[in-house]
Structures are given as structure tokens and as C-alpha cells.
């Protein structure tokens, strides 16, 4: 029997990324929008990525049948004492564009030299199974913040984040390249391993 995984996101970029990494698993991956919950929204007021991810997962789990996955991602910049961190999506305010967030980040780092523009992306994935069992998976990637946007792909801070040991921003990478290196990809690979272990242990292959 193919089990259903419901993503608590309407972000098409994120959904595509998750589907791609879990594509060979015995699960049908759908988004909350696919199930008619386009207006489902949760205030992300937690103090950690894990708290926000679980809050989203728990609220959606009350409404649907299946395995619920929710994630929260933050960009942590050392020179800004970890900001924007858990506020990454709304760094420049509520309901702002990626461009506005990027512009504020560049402004706040304007006088910071490249060697001190170190940062890391981190993703935490919260999973709630049909029976209420919970687990988390996480992934991170180090890099630096560029002085200007570079690249046309990706979303969010991707045009500004130069991935360690590559010399490229995420936005300069193909989707395939990014999916081998990104924080979300690493968290999803960890999740994939957990799901594979659970399948083996339950005999549900």
C-alpha cells in the first residue's frame, strides 16, 4: 500500500525539491493545496526552527489523513549575530518579496568584508505519522554572503549565498546541483534514510 505524505507548504519551489528527492520512495507526495487547504496558514512564532516546523505539522495533522511533513529554514549570518535566523522569511517585514529580504541583508552587511560574511543555512523537518509518532531530520550547509545577487535559479536568499568550496551561489546552480548540496536536500536525505529504515522494520516495502 502506498502511503500519502502531505506537505504543509504551498511553495512550488520547495514542493518540487521535496518530490524530487523522495521520488523513488513508496509514498505519494502531495501538498496541502492539492487537498484543498490553500488557505491553511500557521503563525510561525516559535523561537527555533524545530518549534515552527512542529507547529505547522501539528496543525495540519489535525485536518488530514496521512504522514505530515513541515519544515522551517533559516539563514544564520555570523556578522549579524545569527540574524535573520528564524525570521528569514519575514526579515524585511510581513508578506515581503525575496528581493526585499535580500536588499535588507545586503544593506546590513554593506561594511562587512568577504572574510567576515560567513553564514549557514539550516533546515529542520518535522514529521508526524498517521498514529501521531513524531521525528525530526535536519541539514545544514556553510557558505558566505555575496556582495550582490548572482544567478537566476532557486528562490529566497539563493542568489546571495555562496556555497562553501564551490564559488557559486545556489542561484547559479542547476536544480540537480543544488539538490546534492543544499540544507533542505541534506535534511531530506536524512529523512529518506529514516523512512527507509521504518519501511524495512515494518516490512512495508
Residues recognised as catalytic: 72
Structural domain harbouring 192: 3-202
Q: Is the pLDDT of residue 205 over 50?
A: no
Distance CA 32, CA 97 (A): 22
CA distances from residue 123 to 28, 139, 197, 202 in whole angstroms, order as listed: 22, 5, 21, 28
**90-128 pLDDT, tens per residue?**
999 988 999 999 999 999 999 999 999 999 999 999 999
Strand partners, 119: 77, 143
Looking at per-residue pLDDT, the higher value among 34 and 14 belongs to: 34
Domain at 132, CATH number = 3.90.950.10
Q: Which of 17-26, 71-80, 102-111 has the lowest mean pLDDT?
A: 17-26
Looking at per-residue pLDDT, the higher value among 159 and 194 belongs to: 159
> How would residue 201 be classed by pLDDT, with cut points 50, 70 and 90?
low
Across the range 6-32, mean pLDDT stands at 83
Residue whose entry in the numeric block shows the C-alpha cell 548572482: 150
Helix (H) / strand (E) element for 180: namely helix 175-181
**140-183 pLDDT, tens per residue?**
999 999 999 999 998 899 999 999 999 999 999 998 898 889 99
Closest C-alpha to 161, from 74, 47, 96, 87:
74
In the chain, the number of structural domains is: 1
Amino acid at each position: 500500500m502506498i502511503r500519502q505524505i502531505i506537505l504543509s507548504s504551498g511553495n512550488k519551489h520547495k514542493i518540487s525539491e521535496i518530490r524530487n528527492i523522495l521520488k523513488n520512495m513508496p509514498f505519494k507526495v502531495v501538498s496541502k493545496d492539492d487537498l484543498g487547504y490553500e488557505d491553511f496558514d500557521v503563525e510561525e512564532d516559535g523561537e527555533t526552527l524545530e518549534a515552527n516546523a512542529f507547529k505547522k505539522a501539528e496543525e495540519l495533522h489535525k485536518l488530514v489523513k496521512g504522514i505530515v511533513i513541515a519544515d522551517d529554514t533559516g539563514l544564520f549570518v555570523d556578522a549579524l549575530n545569527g540574524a535573520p535566523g528564524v525570521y528569514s522569511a519575514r526579515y524585511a517585514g510581513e508578506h515581503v518579496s525575496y528581493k526585499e529580504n535580500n536588499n535588507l541583508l545586503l544593506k546590513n552587511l554593506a561594511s562587512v568584508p568577504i572574510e567576515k560574511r560567513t553564514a549557514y543555512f539550516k533546515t529542520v523537518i518535522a514529521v508526524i505519522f498517521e498514529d501521531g509518532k513524531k521525528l525530526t531530520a535536519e541539514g545544514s550547509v556553510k557558505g558566505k554572503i555575496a556582495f550582490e545577487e548572482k544567478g537566476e535559479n532557486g528562490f529566497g536568499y539563493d542568489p546571495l549565498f555562496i556555497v562553501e568550496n564551490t564559488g557559486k551561489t545556489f542561484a547559479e546552480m542547476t536544480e540537480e546541483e543544488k539538490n546534492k548540496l543544499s540544507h533542505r536536500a541534506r535534511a531530506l536525505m536524512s529523512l529518506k534514510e529514516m523512512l527507509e529504515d521504518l519501511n524495512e522494520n515494518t516490512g512495508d516495502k
